[in-house]
Chain A
Amino acid sequence: SAVISQKPSRDICQRGTSLTIQCQVDSQVTMMFWYRQQPGQSLTLIATANQGSEATYESGFVIDKFPISRPNLTFSTLTVSNMSPEDSSIYLCSASSDSRGTEAFFGQGTRLTVV
């Protein structure tokens, strides 16, 4: 299993600003992902964080809005840029190995409120 720590756990931000969320995994993992969970909704995958290369974004998400870094196997960041109230959400980091038979592990999430 993997233990995932996210920072900050919550924040209140002004519109137009940016917030960077950090994700640290306690063991080397192959795959890291970022999800968004809007109020009352399910988890939506934003992107797959690739080590040493650009992230792979899902439909509806773009690098300019959600730049992602992954400098090594255990750490990734997600930035929410030029925030608006619609970005208020919980952002979750997830990690897994690429072996068949393994599940994804999740951090506790970052609760973001944009005012």
Chain B
Amino acid sequence: AQSVSQHNHHVILSEAASLELGCNYSYGGTVNLFWYVQYPGQHLQLLLKYFSGDPLVKGIKGFEAEFIKSKFSFNLRKPSVQWSDTAEYFCAVGPGGFKTIFGAGTRLFVKA
């Protein structure tokens, strides 16, 4: 069965610090990989996605993620976080256009 593991459940950073959130998945076939963000009181929004091609994917708000096939990983990064990045971040995997499986989520708190 497919599964997604996120390494950190809670992360606290100061503004301007760099961010890296780990994500590993288990699925043997071709995967679509996603990072979603949920700001307090808001619905899920797509940050970025990977389907094929360049394994370094750039998303909105300065976020990027790198797909490393050999490590089954899709880590999210941002060089300099802002207070407004405080949110919960979910890594997800989906085979084709079918059901999406989510990781447990990482709650990021950025101190101003």
Binding site for B on A (CB under 8 A): 30-31, 33, 41-45, 48, 92, 94, 96-104, 106-109
Which residues on A sit within 8 Å (CB–CB) of B101? Answer: 45
Q: Total contacts A to B, CB within 8 angstroms? A: 54
The total of chain B residues at the interface (CB under 8 A) is 21
Whether B49 contacts A98 by the Cβ 8 Å rule is no
Answer whether A103 and B43 are a contact pair too, CB < 8 Å, given A31-B97, A42-B90, A48-B99: no
Which residues on B sit within 8 Å (CB–CB) of A108? Answer: 42-43
Whether B43 contacts A102 by the Cβ 8 Å rule is no
Pick from A44, A92, A100, A106: contact of B96, CB below 8 A.
A100
Q: Which 5 A-B pairs have the closest CB atoms?
A: A98-B97, A108-B43, A106-B44, A43-B102, A42-B104
Interface SS majority for chain B: loop
